[in-house]
Structure 1
């Protein structure tokens, strides 16, 4: 066996110092906010009740004006602090500190990893017997690059007065201060922008801790050695809970939903735990429960006409809710929230349908215990769960061999030790059961008030109503006309309300407002979309004075035509709009071709003639409805 040379100068060293430093820096943090979350994890694990995040900026002279740029970020907490041994270990990569699964941060890499991903020097003071008796140590990238192998031995060094002066409260008997300097990877420039871009994520990651009052997190911009307390745009503030399920009653959601839930539990679970389901997963003979919570928007979040829930005076009721501040806020919270030990790991947007605006109006939280870290594939920077994320849009049939049954498929992948196996049932429940039900329910919300589209929908309804009335005046009587002759207004109201709520599963508020509006305006037609147990792409309800058309959302034509034309994201550009129109045009042509082929395949000449007559009759009716009824001059 050859010589085992491992000195600094060896050209055969497995990992070179320069590569080690690069790996430390490129550790996969999405941005400064996620890196800061690692430090807050440590503070919460240390039982801190107050965490202060300072972004300190200094003036930089530009070509025409002086700007301010963040040069130091610090996190100060009132947790239980660390002694010299624990402090030194905390700055070591992959130390055994992570063995306790009760901790949020259990991998023992958070402090050095996150710090070095943003700066070239990190300093730590920690004290267990007053800040004047603090222990101090640091990591310096230049020294590491020069061959430093050991974390410097902690020394006694009081916390600089500068930091105690900035603190919200006097420094207590115990606590920790982490300071990042020589920032070279912070994305945002000014202190205010840095904290604004951090606060929403921090509020979401620690929403349960914030909402339950377990911890306060202060975001404090510092300029010229002082916290900007009174500055309206850039002043200090406390992070507010940011709940992607919008079930919390006090959050940073824009008005009118900052002090009341914007969503409600989805219809599952029981009275004690509405909107909750449990999935057991067994590891090494022990069963652990995965908790799934689901919510969807309340009708008043998307409709301006829900009685007792008006929108703010400055909110245009004819604009889609997605354009308003609370809708934009929900847009930034799309996906399934993965929660471990009360702390969010990730808001996984892979489970959403990216182009569909309805996606912002549902929320799902999957909470699992630390014992399932390996099952979910939790990464060491706690930003995602790789195994769970890989199952978004999972289709087992695409991987099945021959005519494999679901059980046979699972048995086969179990033989290969496929890590996805324990989560497949959960993923299929979310993808094939829960999310489709939620989306169907949400599409019913805006049937009577489609925001910016409502005026156009009303125009179509009025035009179709005029056509019905003209035909009636010309002596063409329909079933809806005959039923209306003997029905009172109350009869009509009850019949329409029952059809909408019982047959098509609209919520009561939406159904009531639709019926009230139709009777007030004497509308004779109504268009809704609803899942139908039928191969027809639309069905009709014939009621007293009301011809109701139900577009079948389960038919492919709905997604390829109605969704393409109506559910258009607000930021769609001209090229995307052209693509949508072209797609809708192609779908319409295919629809007509399907009719033509139907006629082509009818073998009986008499039946084919009847279908041909029906086509001509439909063409005459279409002319009556599309033309405005005025006489040609």
Structure 2
């Protein structure tokens, strides 16, 4: 009541300043690293060449030796253009955008105050255009706002404190320093831990700025220095941020050895010869059309297999252990998802597009790069941490949303009439869900064909038994088509035919195919088992090649999921109960397989055709006995 009497206008504000700031503090930054990214955005927009992030801690006071050092201050200093007094003052206002420059990363003009107050109670800013000794200074302090302050204090001349000038490696003639103190919402304790938790995210968010600018883009190059400080001195752990590329196509990066200095992934089979792994999709919003660039990659064979020629794993990496358990595999697991990039800066790594329980998800990468003109279409939030419309479409099932008999085009027309905000991105979502991701997942599964890791002994044993059975039959004069072709084909022609079949028909990469064929030829193996996605109701098919009987188990058939996956993809830590459950499930699946054959015979209408099927069943039984026995029994 008293405030409204002394200042009637103040009594009718829709929201009081202190409540506004409290709401902004709860705006939803995921952690300190995301809040720091807002400050780095401002530095890049100010054309900085160097951004320095300081995390400062103090030693425990005497008698507190058991207390861990806790971070007291965080500061971000750049050598950008700096700000004049008016711009500096407006920079600390919530929601005061600074013009419509389409090259800026910032969006709502809320980054500096919003991110700062999400982590601390006091933020101070120095900015200068003519030497750090001539800096302008202002601040926001939550204590004063709660006591009624409703204007950003007018900037005053104040030189940059000596502490920061001494810590800086590149203090420029112009620049800006932002200091956070009274850190009541920073969860990390020590300076080194704070920067360690920050580095990987910052490296991914600004990966396009941490390398030389790409041709045809407006992206600049910037260095980001992370500096842990204790009692005013730099301590161990100072470093420059390396790019963290979730597509693993660039180098050098922060990826662990042996992939820090070479790509771990390769472009996927999209795009053309000039732009492998890249497609442009037009998106129309509010009558304007803009290109969205989709980049995609999948793991190189050597990332998952220890025996690729010329690409050995490190000596300390066990070849008998799954690649996902090694440092580079764990790194890839932290980069699962579709990387959504706006103006060259990552908004989020959207894990909604990945199948969380499937370990192959770590072995592909997708980047969707869009311009700021499509912010509304993507649903970009004001803290630039996600795009809501894009995230919602990760599980979009157009068939489920369509009315009976409605086509995909008719559904889009109906959504257009309704003004559905998802409409501009429907084609993009369809492309990712129905075309790109399924294709890459099939290719990644095919890489396991040549891996022969945990189940190598079982594969060799089955191949040996089958090989022995075929040799016995051939010695008895029972020649198959593969034997006849073998007699008519030169060795190099035979090798090339097998490699071509694996690469062209079954989409296995060339290096893996060649290694697989060479190993089988060296051991005189005449049977091969692979899994492949096939658009067929058959659960397996065969390739008859010179000297090679190749069986392809259809990974698109339910039998693969219910039998092969259950028996082969067994976790290393599976307990006895889990193993018993898997065996029981496999046994049930085998019974259902036999029942399905029996019902097929039952439904055949003609006696003659039914008799032929019964003969085929008996022949198969005889062949099975010959393959399963050790050769002692005759037919």
1:358 match: secondary structure: helix
From the superposition, tell whether residues 507 and 453 of structure 1 become closer, same or farther in structure 2 (CA, over 3 Å): same
- Which whole-Å CA distance do the structure 2 matches of 1:574 and 1:118 have between them? 48
1:561 positional shift? 3.8
1:287 positional shift? 2.5
Which structure 2 residues correspond to residues 222-237 of structure 1 after superposition, within 5 A? 222-228=229-235, 231=236, 235-237=237-239
Q: Which of 428, 431, 434 does residue 430 from structure 2 map onto?
A: 428
- The answer (yes or no) to whether the contact 1:353–1:359 under 8 Å persists in 2 is yes
Aligned counterpart, 1:381: 383
1:356 paired with 2:378, answer no
1:126 match: secondary structure: strand
1:59 positional shift? 3.0
Which sections of structure 2, spanning at least 5 residues, go unmatched? 214-220
- Which whole-Å CA distance do the structure 1 matches of 2:382 and 2:582 have between them? 42
1:181 positional shift? 1.3
1:216 positional shift? 0.3
1:72 match: secondary structure: strand
From the superposition, tell whether residues 115 and 629 of structure 1 become closer, same or farther in structure 2 (CA, over 3 Å): farther
1:208 paired with 2:208, answer yes
- The answer (yes or no) to whether the contact 2:68–2:189 under 8 Å persists in 1 is no
- The answer (yes or no) to whether the contact 1:334–1:347 under 8 Å persists in 2 is yes
- Which whole-Å CA distance do the structure 1 matches of 2:116 and 2:589 have between them? 53
More off after superposition, 506-515 vs 267-276: 267-276
Aligned counterpart, 1:192: 192
From the superposition, tell whether residues 518 and 184 of structure 1 become closer, same or farther in structure 2 (CA, over 3 Å): same
Q: Which of 306, 310, 315 does residue 304 from structure 1 map onto?
A: 306
1:569 positional shift? 6.9
1:472 positional shift? 4.6
More off after superposition, 311-320 vs 193-202: 311-320
1:495 match: secondary structure: helix
1:227 positional shift? 1.0
Aligned counterpart, 1:281: 283
1:458 positional shift? 2.9
Aligned counterpart, 1:219: 226
Which sections of structure 1, spanning at least 5 residues, go unmatched? none
- Which whole-Å CA distance do the structure 2 matches of 1:119 and 1:568 have between them? 48
More off after superposition, 571-580 vs 347-356: 571-580
- Which whole-Å CA distance do the structure 1 matches of 2:65 and 2:615 have between them? 78
From the superposition, tell whether residues 116 and 583 of structure 1 become closer, same or farther in structure 2 (CA, over 3 Å): farther
- The answer (yes or no) to whether the contact 2:55–2:194 under 8 Å persists in 1 is yes
Aligned counterpart, 2:36: 36
Deviations 1:393-444 (A, max 9, x none): 3221111122112222111111111111111111111111111222222222
- Which whole-Å CA distance do the structure 2 matches of 1:354 and 1:324 have between them? 19
- Which whole-Å CA distance do the structure 1 matches of 2:600 and 2:321 have between them? 41
1:574 positional shift? 8.3
1:109 positional shift? 0.8
Aligned counterpart, 1:442: 444
- The answer (yes or no) to whether the contact 1:357–1:567 under 8 Å persists in 2 is no
Aligned counterpart, 1:156: 157
- Which whole-Å CA distance do the structure 1 matches of 2:16 and 2:632 have between them? 85
- Which whole-Å CA distance do the structure 2 matches of 1:551 and 1:532 have between them? 9
From the superposition, tell whether residues 252 and 163 of structure 1 become closer, same or farther in structure 2 (CA, over 3 Å): same
- Which whole-Å CA distance do the structure 2 matches of 1:630 and 1:147 have between them? 97
- Which whole-Å CA distance do the structure 2 matches of 1:189 and 1:288 have between them? 44
Aligned counterpart, 1:70: 71
Which structure 2 residues correspond to residues 598-613 of structure 1 after superposition, within 5 A? 598-613=600-615
1:281 positional shift? 2.1
1:587 positional shift? 4.2
- Which whole-Å CA distance do the structure 2 matches of 1:281 and 1:157 have between them? 49
Q: Which of 352, 371, 376 does residue 373 from structure 2 map onto?
A: 371
Deviations 1:143-197 (A, max 9, x none): 222332222222222111111111123x222111111112122232221121111
- Which whole-Å CA distance do the structure 2 matches of 1:362 and 1:595 have between them? 38
TM-score, scaled relative to structure 1: 0.91
1:178 match: secondary structure: strand
Q: Which of 495, 499, 502 does residue 501 from structure 2 map onto?
A: 499
From the superposition, tell whether residues 17 and 195 of structure 1 become closer, same or farther in structure 2 (CA, over 3 Å): same
RMSD of equivalent CA atoms: 2.9
- Which whole-Å CA distance do the structure 1 matches of 2:574 and 2:143 have between them? 47
1:358 positional shift? 1.8
From the superposition, tell whether residues 163 and 575 of structure 1 become closer, same or farther in structure 2 (CA, over 3 Å): farther
More off after superposition, 310-319 vs 198-207: 310-319
- The answer (yes or no) to whether the contact 1:278–1:290 under 8 Å persists in 2 is yes
Deviations 1:285-315 (A, max 9, x none): 4331111111222222222222222222222
- Which whole-Å CA distance do the structure 1 matches of 2:278 and 2:568 have between them? 32
- Which whole-Å CA distance do the structure 1 matches of 2:504 and 2:136 have between them? 69
Aligned counterpart, 2:82: 81
- The answer (yes or no) to whether the contact 2:35–2:116 under 8 Å persists in 1 is yes
- Which whole-Å CA distance do the structure 1 matches of 2:590 and 2:366 have between them? 35
Aligned counterpart, 1:27: 27
Deviations 1:368-400 (A, max 9, x none): 111111111111111111111111132211111
- Which whole-Å CA distance do the structure 1 matches of 2:353 and 2:340 have between them? 12
Aligned counterpart, 1:262: 264
1:531 paired with 2:533, answer yes
1:473 positional shift? 5.3
